[in-house]
Amino acid sequence: MRVYLRTFGCRANQYDTEAVRTMLEESGHAIVSSAADADVAVFNSCAVTSDAEAELRKVVRRAAREQPALRSVVMGCAAALDDDRPVALQLRGLPSVEQVVAGADMPAIAAALALPPGSANVVTRTQSGTRALLRIQDGCDEHCTFCATTMARGASRSRSLDDVVREAAGLAERHPEIVITGIHIGSYGADIGSSLGALLTRLVREVPQARFRLSSIEATELDDTLVDLLAGAPRQLVPHVHAPLQSGSDPLLRRMGRNWYTSATYSSAVEALAGRMSILGLGADVIAGFPGETDADHRATVDLVNYLPFTYLHVFPYSVRPGTAAVRLPNHVAPPVAQQRAAELREIGARKAAGYAASRSGGTADVVVLGSRGEREGLTGDYLTVTPADPSLPRGARFTGRLAMERDRLLALTADC
């Protein structure tokens, strides 16, 4: 069987697709790069924005046109919400779609693909990317009013420390960097009597050959153990944190259902971390135009973003997600206003990113080489994209490079592989 895999959305989804890839390859099936060459397609869907679902539908329809005999399975977050849609809008009504599997239910996916039952017990060892992904938990216990992920993924569930460490050890044999991912990684261990700090302590100690990177984590969930590792072991836990902000307005944060922090506690957590770090890549998600957002709310976000030491921003205009509480909130912001506010925040993010990159010129960085042959690029621990001066370095090489700015790009000038 020839299978085409396509992923939409976050790194947790990307990890789940890698698990499906492993399951298929260990069962003797081939992965192909085009739907036109496939017997079966597996689409891993995202429900974060309406644009993500619209893109999924477009890609599924195009694949069916390219290969009329294609049989498709849709998994992931959008698939988990399918039964709540009107029949005419359900994913199972798309051409070629034979099965819709909620979330990342590997036994159900194995059954949909007619694989042996035992094949669902997969542990990834080699993934398609240079950097490996390692999902440590699934689900979320918070209830952000704009988010459909909790409905799609359910309550937070942690994997055991031993299972995570075992998979990390296997991945480290082939991947120089492992990205710790999940739906709400800061909640890791709450249901099994452990913590994210305890897990990272074991990973740094027991899997020393790889560097680890945290995916999105709440700023107020950076405990002393994590901060100590970020500041004291940057070659093992890279100096990069992506901490969702969403808004700098406290009234708007309450409307969003993000009641566990305020603009002040977020700032305090970021400032405490930055005070310990000589180098820190710091990113955030921000939503522009959330229902009820006033000019004053937007200005509070702009002021906070300008004040804190962000090195990049991910800015999203608010997207209506059916079934979420935010749909019922009054005073929805006109789309042109939301787009204008998003553009202002993106300009600030771009300015901060350029300033941070320039400030790193002359310093050194821990670099992992990415990209295909002839298009090599490097990723630093603090999440800067650089150009290795030595084009012969293979994909996956890791070296310490001295950085220099040349025509608005950073070069990694020297290599000590």
The answer to whether 234 and 278 have CB atoms below 8 angstroms apart is: no
The pLDDT assigned to 188 comes to 98
Look over the chain and give the mean of its residue pLDDT values, rounded to a whole number. Answer: 95
**Does the pLDDT value for residue 5 go beyond 90?**
yes
Q: What is the pLDDT of residues 200-227, one digit of tens each?
A: 999 999 999 999 999 999 999 999 999 9
Instruction: Output the CA angle 217-223-226, nearest 5 degrees.
Output: 75
Higher-scoring residue by pLDDT: 13, 89: 13
Strand pairing category for 398-406 and 385-388: unpaired
The pLDDT assigned to 158 comes to 98
For the whole model, what pTM was predicted? 0.95
The pLDDT assigned to 12 comes to 95
Which residue, 102, 184, 103, 104, is CA-closest to 140? Answer: 184
- Structural element, H or E, at residue 386: strand 385-388
Which residue, 375, 189, 381, 178, is CA-closest to 279? Answer: 381
Q: What is the pLDDT of residues 112-153, one digit of tens each?
A: 999 998 898 889 999 999 999 999 999 999 999 999 888 889
Strand pairing category for 398-406 and 409-412: antiparallel
Average pLDDT over residues 23-36: 97
Q: What is the pLDDT of residues 154-177, one digit of tens each?
A: 999 999 999 999 999 999 999 999
Q: List all residues 6 or more positions away from 254 whose beta carbon is below 8 Å from its beta carbon.
A: none
Average pLDDT over residues 389-404: 94
Q: What is the pLDDT of residues 71-118, one digit of tens each?
A: 999 999 999 999 888 888 899 999 999 999 999 999 999 999 999 988
191 CB neighbour count, 10 Å cutoff: 14
**Does the pLDDT value for residue 416 go beyond 70?**
no
Q: What is the pLDDT of residues 286-321, one digit of tens each?
A: 999 999 999 999 999 999 999 999 999 999 999 998
Average pLDDT over residues 357-383: 93
Residue type, 96: S
Which residue, 180, 182, 104, 183, is CA-closest to 142? Answer: 183
The pLDDT assigned to 417 comes to 44
In residues, how long is the chain? 417
The token pair that represents 252 in the structure block: 């708007």
pLDDT band at 358 (very low <50, low <70, confident <90, very high): very high
Average pLDDT over residues 30-47: 97
pLDDT band at 415 (very low <50, low <70, confident <90, very high): low
Which residue, 289, 281, 223, 286, is CA-closest to 410? Answer: 281
The answer to whether 58 and 64 have CB atoms below 8 angstroms apart is: no
The answer to whether 39 and 72 have CB atoms below 8 angstroms apart is: no
**Does the pLDDT value for residue 400 go beyond 60?**
yes
Q: List all residues 6 or more positions away from 100 whose beta carbon is below 8 Å from its beta carbon.
A: 73, 74, 75, 79, 82, 90, 91, 92
The pLDDT assigned to 149 comes to 86
Q: List all residues 6 or more positions away from 375 whose beta carbon is below 8 Å from its beta carbon.
A: none
